[in-house]
Amino acid sequence: MQLRIPTEVCRSYIDCQSQRAESVAWDRRRHEALPVVTISRQAGAGGFTLAQKLAQYLQEHDTRAACPWTVFDKELVQKVLEDHKLSDSVARFMPETKYSEIRDTVEELLGLHPARWTLAEKTSETILHLAQMGNAVIVGRGAAVIIGFVPNAFHVRLVGSVQQRIQRCEEYFQFNTEQAMEYVKQTDEGRVHYLKRHFNRSIDDPSLYHLVINTDAVTPEESVVIIGRLVLDRQETAKKGTSAVG
Protein backbone atom coordinates (compact mmCIF):
# COMPACT_ATOMS: atom_id res chain seq x y z
CA MET A 1 0.00 0.00 0.00
CA GLN A 2 1.60 3.25 -1.12
CA LEU A 3 1.82 5.92 1.55
CA ARG A 4 0.92 9.52 0.87
CA ILE A 5 2.34 12.53 2.61
CA PRO A 6 0.50 13.61 5.78
CA THR A 7 -1.24 16.64 4.27
CA GLU A 8 -2.73 14.58 1.45
CA VAL A 9 -3.88 11.89 3.87
CA CYS A 10 -5.61 14.42 6.12
CA ARG A 11 -7.27 16.31 3.32
CA SER A 12 -8.57 13.18 1.62
CA TYR A 13 -9.97 11.85 4.89
CA ILE A 14 -11.57 15.16 5.92
CA ASP A 15 -13.04 15.77 2.46
CA CYS A 16 -14.74 12.39 2.58
CA GLN A 17 -16.00 12.92 6.12
CA SER A 18 -17.36 16.35 5.17
CA GLN A 19 -19.28 14.87 2.26
CA ARG A 20 -20.64 12.16 4.54
CA ALA A 21 -21.75 14.75 7.10
CA GLU A 22 -23.71 16.56 4.40
CA SER A 23 -25.42 13.41 3.16
CA VAL A 24 -26.25 11.71 6.47
CA ALA A 25 -28.41 13.27 9.16
CA TRP A 26 -26.62 13.90 12.46
CA ASP A 27 -28.97 11.70 14.49
CA ARG A 28 -28.31 8.81 12.13
CA ARG A 29 -24.54 9.38 12.29
CA ARG A 30 -24.69 9.40 16.09
CA HIS A 31 -26.41 6.01 16.13
CA GLU A 32 -24.25 4.59 13.34
CA ALA A 33 -20.82 5.69 14.53
CA LEU A 34 -18.06 4.35 12.30
CA PRO A 35 -15.42 2.24 14.06
CA VAL A 36 -12.08 3.57 15.26
CA VAL A 37 -9.03 1.52 16.27
CA THR A 38 -6.23 2.71 18.55
CA ILE A 39 -2.83 1.06 18.72
CA SER A 40 -0.50 1.45 21.70
CA ARG A 41 2.89 -0.15 21.26
CA GLN A 42 6.25 -0.79 22.81
CA ALA A 43 9.18 0.45 20.73
CA GLY A 44 10.03 -2.04 18.01
CA ALA A 45 6.75 -3.95 18.36
CA GLY A 46 5.77 -3.00 14.81
CA GLY A 47 2.92 -0.61 15.55
CA PHE A 48 3.08 1.56 12.45
CA THR A 49 3.54 -1.38 10.08
CA LEU A 50 0.62 -3.19 11.68
CA ALA A 51 -1.52 -0.06 11.50
CA GLN A 52 -0.92 0.24 7.75
CA LYS A 53 -1.71 -3.43 7.14
CA LEU A 54 -4.81 -3.21 9.32
CA ALA A 55 -6.13 -0.15 7.49
CA GLN A 56 -5.66 -1.97 4.20
CA TYR A 57 -7.42 -5.08 5.54
CA LEU A 58 -10.36 -3.07 6.86
CA GLN A 59 -10.62 -1.10 3.63
CA GLU A 60 -10.88 -4.37 1.70
CA HIS A 61 -13.33 -6.11 4.04
CA ASP A 62 -15.45 -3.31 5.51
CA THR A 63 -18.43 -3.28 3.17
CA ARG A 64 -19.96 -0.33 5.02
CA ALA A 65 -16.88 1.89 4.84
CA ALA A 66 -18.30 5.30 3.96
CA CYS A 67 -14.83 6.83 3.93
CA PRO A 68 -11.35 5.34 3.43
CA TRP A 69 -9.71 3.78 6.46
CA THR A 70 -6.83 6.11 7.35
CA VAL A 71 -3.84 5.74 9.66
CA PHE A 72 -2.96 8.67 11.92
CA ASP A 73 0.55 8.43 13.36
CA LYS A 74 2.90 11.05 11.99
CA GLU A 75 -0.20 12.19 10.11
CA LEU A 76 -1.86 12.87 13.46
CA VAL A 77 0.66 15.61 14.21
CA GLN A 78 -0.15 17.24 10.89
CA LYS A 79 -3.87 16.98 11.67
CA VAL A 80 -3.36 18.69 15.04
CA LEU A 81 -1.42 21.51 13.37
CA GLU A 82 -4.19 21.99 10.81
CA ASP A 83 -7.06 21.76 13.32
CA HIS A 84 -5.56 24.36 15.64
CA LYS A 85 -3.78 26.50 13.06
CA LEU A 86 -0.34 25.89 14.56
CA SER A 87 2.94 26.46 12.76
CA ASP A 88 4.69 23.46 11.20
CA SER A 89 7.70 24.33 13.35
CA VAL A 90 5.67 23.27 16.41
CA ALA A 91 5.64 19.67 15.15
CA ARG A 92 9.14 18.97 16.45
CA PHE A 93 7.94 19.73 19.98
CA MET A 94 5.17 17.09 19.83
CA PRO A 95 6.90 13.69 20.06
CA GLU A 96 5.96 11.02 22.60
CA THR A 97 9.34 11.33 24.24
CA LYS A 98 10.68 12.22 27.64
CA TYR A 99 11.87 15.78 27.85
CA SER A 100 13.49 18.22 30.25
CA GLU A 101 10.80 20.21 32.05
CA ILE A 102 13.28 23.02 32.76
CA ARG A 103 14.24 23.28 29.11
CA ASP A 104 10.59 23.05 28.10
CA THR A 105 9.68 25.94 30.41
CA VAL A 106 12.50 28.11 29.03
CA GLU A 107 11.50 27.36 25.44
CA GLU A 108 7.88 28.16 26.26
CA LEU A 109 8.86 31.49 27.86
CA LEU A 110 10.92 32.30 24.77
CA GLY A 111 7.86 31.68 22.62
CA LEU A 112 9.40 28.75 20.75
CA HIS A 113 6.27 26.65 21.23
CA PRO A 114 3.04 26.52 23.26
CA ALA A 115 3.09 24.73 26.61
CA ARG A 116 3.29 20.96 26.20
CA TRP A 117 0.14 20.68 28.27
CA THR A 118 -1.56 22.83 25.64
CA LEU A 119 -0.17 20.69 22.82
CA ALA A 120 -1.37 17.52 24.57
CA GLU A 121 -4.81 19.07 25.05
CA LYS A 122 -5.06 20.03 21.38
CA THR A 123 -3.90 16.55 20.36
CA SER A 124 -6.58 15.04 22.59
CA GLU A 125 -9.25 17.22 21.00
CA THR A 126 -8.20 16.09 17.54
CA ILE A 127 -8.20 12.42 18.58
CA LEU A 128 -11.75 12.80 19.93
CA HIS A 129 -12.83 14.37 16.63
CA LEU A 130 -11.28 11.48 14.70
CA ALA A 131 -13.06 8.99 16.97
CA GLN A 132 -16.38 10.71 16.28
CA MET A 133 -15.78 10.55 12.53
CA GLY A 134 -14.49 6.95 12.56
CA ASN A 135 -12.70 4.77 9.98
CA ALA A 136 -9.42 5.79 11.60
CA VAL A 137 -6.50 3.80 12.99
CA ILE A 138 -4.82 6.03 15.58
CA VAL A 139 -1.31 5.11 16.73
CA GLY A 140 -0.06 6.29 20.11
CA ARG A 141 -0.64 9.62 21.88
CA GLY A 142 -2.71 8.01 24.65
CA ALA A 143 -5.64 7.53 22.27
CA ALA A 144 -7.08 4.58 24.20
CA VAL A 145 -7.34 6.71 27.35
CA ILE A 146 -8.64 9.77 25.52
CA ILE A 147 -11.39 7.92 23.65
CA GLY A 148 -12.28 5.38 26.34
CA PHE A 149 -14.52 2.36 25.90
CA VAL A 150 -17.15 3.92 23.66
CA PRO A 151 -19.08 1.43 21.46
CA ASN A 152 -17.29 2.25 18.20
CA ALA A 153 -13.72 2.06 19.61
CA PHE A 154 -11.35 -0.90 19.76
CA HIS A 155 -8.06 -0.55 21.62
CA VAL A 156 -4.97 -2.71 21.00
CA ARG A 157 -1.63 -2.91 22.82
CA LEU A 158 1.42 -4.46 21.11
CA VAL A 159 4.20 -5.88 23.29
CA GLY A 160 7.24 -8.10 22.82
CA SER A 161 10.53 -9.15 24.34
CA VAL A 162 13.30 -6.57 24.48
CA GLN A 163 15.55 -8.82 22.39
CA GLN A 164 13.06 -9.18 19.55
CA ARG A 165 12.20 -5.49 19.56
CA ILE A 166 15.86 -4.49 19.43
CA GLN A 167 16.36 -6.83 16.47
CA ARG A 168 13.40 -5.31 14.63
CA CYS A 169 14.80 -1.82 15.17
CA GLU A 170 18.18 -2.92 13.83
CA GLU A 171 16.50 -4.17 10.67
CA TYR A 172 13.95 -1.37 10.23
CA PHE A 173 16.15 1.63 11.05
CA GLN A 174 19.47 0.08 10.03
CA PHE A 175 20.74 0.65 13.57
CA ASN A 176 23.65 -1.19 15.12
CA THR A 177 22.84 -3.11 18.32
CA GLU A 178 23.89 -0.30 20.64
CA GLN A 179 21.79 2.25 18.77
CA ALA A 180 18.77 -0.06 18.72
CA MET A 181 19.06 -0.73 22.46
CA GLU A 182 19.19 3.00 23.20
CA TYR A 183 16.26 3.72 20.87
CA VAL A 184 14.06 1.07 22.51
CA LYS A 185 14.99 2.25 26.02
CA GLN A 186 14.45 5.96 25.34
CA THR A 187 11.27 5.50 23.31
CA ASP A 188 9.63 3.19 25.85
CA GLU A 189 10.50 5.58 28.68
CA GLY A 190 9.14 8.53 26.70
CA ARG A 191 5.81 6.86 26.03
CA VAL A 192 5.43 5.81 29.64
CA HIS A 193 6.23 9.38 30.71
CA TYR A 194 3.75 10.91 28.21
CA LEU A 195 0.78 8.88 29.43
CA LYS A 196 1.67 9.26 33.09
CA ARG A 197 2.29 12.99 32.91
CA HIS A 198 -0.73 13.97 30.84
CA PHE A 199 -3.32 11.35 31.86
CA ASN A 200 -1.96 9.85 35.10
CA ARG A 201 -2.31 6.35 33.68
CA SER A 202 0.13 3.48 33.20
CA ILE A 203 0.64 2.59 29.56
CA ASP A 204 1.19 -1.04 30.59
CA ASP A 205 -2.19 -1.34 32.34
CA PRO A 206 -3.95 -4.11 30.33
CA SER A 207 -7.37 -2.86 31.42
CA LEU A 208 -6.96 0.09 29.03
CA TYR A 209 -7.17 -2.23 26.01
CA HIS A 210 -9.56 -4.70 24.44
CA LEU A 211 -6.65 -6.80 23.24
CA VAL A 212 -2.95 -7.17 24.10
CA ILE A 213 -0.85 -8.97 21.47
CA ASN A 214 2.61 -10.47 21.97
CA THR A 215 4.31 -9.75 18.65
CA ASP A 216 6.99 -12.36 19.40
CA ALA A 217 4.34 -15.08 19.15
CA VAL A 218 1.80 -13.59 16.72
CA THR A 219 2.81 -12.44 13.22
CA PRO A 220 1.66 -9.08 11.81
CA GLU A 221 -0.52 -10.93 9.29
CA GLU A 222 -2.19 -12.95 12.04
CA SER A 223 -2.63 -9.85 14.19
CA VAL A 224 -4.28 -7.97 11.34
CA VAL A 225 -6.82 -10.73 10.78
CA ILE A 226 -7.55 -11.07 14.52
CA ILE A 227 -8.07 -7.35 15.03
CA GLY A 228 -9.84 -6.80 11.72
CA ARG A 229 -12.37 -9.55 12.29
CA LEU A 230 -13.09 -8.41 15.82
CA VAL A 231 -13.65 -4.83 14.69
CA LEU A 232 -15.95 -5.83 11.84
CA ASP A 233 -17.85 -8.37 13.95
CA ARG A 234 -18.46 -5.77 16.64
CA GLN A 235 -19.61 -3.30 13.99
CA GLU A 236 -22.06 -5.87 12.61
CA THR A 237 -23.40 -6.61 16.09
CA ALA A 238 -23.85 -2.90 16.80
CA LYS A 239 -25.63 -2.45 13.48
CA LYS A 240 -28.09 -5.25 14.27
CA GLY A 241 -28.70 -3.80 17.70
CA THR A 242 -29.42 -0.37 16.22
CA SER A 243 -31.79 -1.87 13.65
CA ALA A 244 -33.65 -3.78 16.38
CA VAL A 245 -34.09 -0.63 18.46
CA GLY A 246 -35.14 1.40 15.44
Q: Whole-angstrom Cα distance, residue 5 to residue 13? A: 13
Q: What is the CATH number of domain 34-245?
A: 3.40.50.300
SS3 213: strand
**Which ranges in 24-176 belong to alpha helices (H)?**
26-31, 47-61, 74-83, 101-109, 116-133, 143-147, 162-173
Residue 35 is predicted with a pLDDT of: 92
pLDDT tens, position by position, 71-98: 988 655 555 556 545 444 444 434 444 4
* C-alpha torsion angle, residues 112, 113, 114, 117 (rounded to 10): -120
The residue-averaged pLDDT of 174-180 equals 96
The residue-averaged pLDDT of 131-149 equals 90
With a threshold of 0.85, does the pTM exceed it? no
Strands 70-72 and 136-139: parallel
* Domain residue ranges of the chain, discontinuous segments joined by +: 34-245
Residue 214 is predicted with a pLDDT of: 98
> Quick one: the chain helix, strand, coil %, rounded to 5?
60, 10, 30
The residue-averaged pLDDT of 12-25 equals 56
Residue 79 is predicted with a pLDDT of: 56
Which residues lie below 8 Å from residue 233, measured CB to CB, with a gap of 6+? none
Where would I find the beta strands (DSSP E) of 122-246? 136-139, 153-159, 211-214
The angle at the Cα of 57, spanning 222 to 36, to the nearest 5 degrees, equals 100
CA quadruple 199, 238, 157, 90: dihedral sign: negative
pLDDT band, residue 34 (cuts 50/70/90): confident
